[in-house]
């Protein structure tokens, strides 16, 4: 089943995209698959929470999985971090995320 | 001038394996890498993480894969220019190339293979608007010579191993070391965290957390930093310092390669994937994560394949008149430039009485 996710890109343009829940994708990969940020500027480490190129701000009150140590540590060293910052690569797409609204953080 | 047949830019897994495939063709290789050690991302970013899709290895740690590749290419005696970044590419009239690093080291090669991965690792710079104005005027992103800081005051920012380790190291050299981090928690090795705490209790390191540097001031030279505590602008205060060293890790950038006249698409170098992974500049190849073509996958195993195809093409470019057919290592063995020879043992013929 697909869910709808609203993503505002780094240019400020908003996109509503269908995100599949059945092939183990994460939010960073959704952004890449729709090419909402140029290749090489997002998901640089491949999804290991070791860069912060997929940082995004969560704009809806959707319940998200808790942050693990890796993500928390990376965000502690990332730039442009806000209260609602998360790493897209650490957010698996599940049915619970229906209606999620996010904004991509600026490129470092 | 360093002379070689194939100059490989990038000592990650693809670049390292190129040495092996070239060696089978009796071509000598030299590698340049901006990092001080070979292995690229595998060594720098995730040496202790497992990889599951290397053919024949159900599971291998990234660091172990690098060690194995180094062992595999040892007989072919590759040269290394490490800790220097390939800066300029010049094509000579005879079709050979000169590549110069940022330190001025020159390499002369018949063929250039760019295996640069995601690019060269550059320090991540915090978004302080006038930061760049103070580079080399008190702000630096790495510690090259610790003695430069003797009896001077230093502010280090960051929460990882390099921030912790340099704070510890400089505590004995600098007149004053201040470590600033956005959180109270540090993510370095436990013993480093403990050591910083000891030094803090001894008054040898000043710790300011949770805080960040938000401004830099100084006439012609760094004089003071504006520190924001608890993310609250009302608590902003200044500290005077001779040096500011932000240590927020490294991130890869395509860098100078993007100015070599190569066709670039999506932050990667376009190559001919129907043949030999050559770029639009004949004699310059791009292999591994740094290239792009329809259906490209950034996988180590794809880099190995690309390296192999590229070496065959390089051989033909270097020896256009030589006839050659590919030989299996099981048949031909592996003869190193160091005189070593590995080969399959001959079958034993023995009659049954």
Q: Which of B10, B227, B221 is nearest to B135 (CA)?
A: B221
Split at pLDDT 50, 70, 90, the class of B307 is very high
Say whether pLDDT at B350 is over 90.
Answer: no
Whether B125-248 and B2-121+251-342 are alike in CATH topology: the answer is yes
Could you tell me the maximum CA-CA distance found in chain B, to the nearest angstrom?
98
pLDDT score at B121: 87
> What is the rounded distance in angstroms from the CA atom of residue A86 to the CA atom of residue A71?
8
**CATH code where residue A96 lies:** 3.10.20.30
Measured CA to CA in angstroms, residue A67 lies from A74, B165, B261, B331, B351 at distances of 11, 27, 43, 53, 69
Please report the sign of the dihedral spanned by the C-alpha atoms of residue A35, residue A36, residue A39, residue A45.
Answer: negative
Of A38, A81, A108, the CB nearest to B251: A108
> What is the rounded distance in angstroms from the CA atom of residue A51 to the CA atom of residue A43?
8
Section B289-315 average pLDDT: 97
Q: Is B121 annotated as a binding residue?
A: yes
pLDDT score at B346: 84
**pLDDT, tens digit, 9 for 90 and up, residues B180-223:** 999 898 888 889 999 999 999 999 999 999 999 999 999 999 99
Report residue A100 as tokens. Answer: 């999620």
CB < 8 Å to A73, chain B: 159-160, 185, 187
Say whether domain B2-121+251-342 belongs to CATH 3.40.50.2300: no
* pTM passes above 0.80: yes
**pLDDT, tens digit, 9 for 90 and up, residues A15-54:** 999 999 999 999 999 999 999 999 889 998 889 998 899 9
Distance from CA of B320 to the nearest CA of A (A): 37
- Residue in A38, A40, A43, A79 to test binding to B, most B beta-carbons within 10 Å: A40
Interchain CB distance below 8 Å, A40 and B266: yes
Torsion angle, alpha carbons of B49, B52, B55, B56, to 10: 90
**pLDDT, tens digit, 9 for 90 and up, residues A54-106:** 999 999 999 999 999 889 989 988 999 999 999 999 999 999 999 999 999 99
Interchain CB distance below 8 Å, B182 and A39: no
pLDDT score at B314: 97
Section B170-188 average pLDDT: 93
The chain-wide mean pLDDT, for chain B, equals 94
Residue ranges of the domains in chain B? 2-121+251-342, 125-248
**pLDDT, tens digit, 9 for 90 and up, residues B90-141:** 999 999 999 999 999 999 999 999 999 989 888 999 999 999 999 999 999 9
Q: How many domains does one find in chain A?
A: 1
Which carries the bigger pLDDT value, residue B30 or residue B350?
B30
> What is the rounded distance in angstroms from the CA atom of residue B105 to the CA atom of residue A76?
38
> What is the rounded distance in angstroms from the CA atom of residue B269 to the CA atom of residue B263?
6
Residue of A nearest to B158 (CA): A77
Say whether pLDDT at B289 is over 90.
Answer: yes
pLDDT score at A69: 86
Split at pLDDT 50, 70, 90, the class of B348 is confident
ipTM: 0.83
> What is the rounded distance in angstroms from the CA atom of residue B66 to the CA atom of residue B39?
5
Radius of gyration of the CA atoms of chain B, in A: 25
Q: Which of B88, B98, B9, B15 is nearest to B307 (CA)?
A: B15
Of A50, A77, A80, the CB nearest to B248: A77
Measured CA to CA in angstroms, residue A14 lies from A30, A92, B8, B162 at distances of 14, 21, 42, 38
Distance from CA of A24 to the nearest CA of B (A): 17
Split at pLDDT 50, 70, 90, the class of B249 is confident
Contacts of A11 (CB under 8 A, 6+ apart): none
Distance from CA of A73 to the nearest CA of B (A): 6
Interchain CB distance below 8 Å, B158 and A77: yes
Residues of B with a Cβ under 8 Å from any A Cβ are 41, 45-46, 49, 118, 124, 126-127, 158-160, 181-183, 185, 187, 248-249, 251-252, 254, 266-268, 298
Domain that holds residue A81: 2-104
Options 3.30.56.10, 3.50.50.60, 1.10.3720.10, 3.40.50.2300; which CATH number does B125-248 get?
3.50.50.60
């Amino acid at each position: 089943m697909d869910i709808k996710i609203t993503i505002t890109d780094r240019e400020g343009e908003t996109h509503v995209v269908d995100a599949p829940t059945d092939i183990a994708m994460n939010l960073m990969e959704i952004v890449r698959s729709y090419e909402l940020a140029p290749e090489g500027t997002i998901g640089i480490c491949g999804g290991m929470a070791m860069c912060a190129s997929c940082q995004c701000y969560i704009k809806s009150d959707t319940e998200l999985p808790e942050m693990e140590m890796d993500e928390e540590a990376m965000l502690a060293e990332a730039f442009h971090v806000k209260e609602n910052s998360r790493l897209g690569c650490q957010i698996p797409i599940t049915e619970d995320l229906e209606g999620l609204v996010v904004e991509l953080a600026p490129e470092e | 001038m360093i002379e070689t047949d194939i100059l490989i830019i990038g000592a990650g897994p693809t670049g390292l394996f190129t040495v092996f495939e070239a060696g089978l063709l009796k071509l000598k290789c030299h590698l340049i890498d901006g990092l001080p050690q070979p292995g690229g991302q595998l060594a720098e970013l995730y040496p202790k993480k497992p990889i599951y899709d290397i053919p024949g290895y159900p599971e291998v740690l990234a660091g172990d894969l690098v060690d194995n590749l180094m062992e595999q290419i040892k007989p072919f005696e590759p040269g290394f220019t490490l800790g220097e970044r390939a800066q300029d590419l010049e094509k000579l009239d005879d079709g050979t190339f000169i590549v110069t690093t940022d330190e001025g080291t020159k390499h002369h090669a018949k063929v250039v293979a760019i295996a640069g991965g995601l690019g060269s690792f550059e320090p991540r710079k915090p978004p302080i608007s006038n930061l760049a104005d103070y580079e080399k005027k008190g702000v630096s992103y790495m510690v090259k010579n610790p003695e430069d800081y003797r009896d001077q005051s230093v502010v280090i920012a960051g929460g990882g191993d390099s921030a912790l380790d340099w704070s510890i190291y400089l505590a004995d050299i600098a007149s004053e070391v201040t470590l600033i981090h956005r959180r109270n928690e540090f993510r370095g090795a436990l013993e480093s965290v403990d050591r910083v705490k000891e030094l803090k209790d001894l008054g040898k390191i000043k710790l300011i957390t949770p805080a960040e540097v938000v401004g830099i001031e100084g006439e012609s030279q760094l004089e003071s930093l504006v520190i924001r505590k608890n993310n609250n602008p009302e608590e902003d205060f200044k500290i005077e310092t001779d040096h500011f060293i932000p240590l927020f890790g490294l991130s890869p950038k395509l860098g100078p390669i993007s100015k070599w006249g190569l066709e670039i698409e999506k932050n990667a170098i376009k190559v001919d994937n129907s043949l030999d992974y050559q770029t639009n500049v004949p004699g310059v190849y791009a292999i591994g994560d740094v290239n792009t073509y329809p259906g490209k996958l950034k996988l180590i195993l794809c880099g190995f394949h690309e390296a192999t195809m590229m070496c065959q093409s390089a051989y033909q470019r270097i020896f256009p008149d030589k006839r050659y057919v590919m030989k299996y290592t099981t048949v031909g063995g592996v003869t190193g430039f160091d005189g070593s020879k590995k080969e399959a043992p001959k079958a034993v013929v023995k009659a049954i009485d």
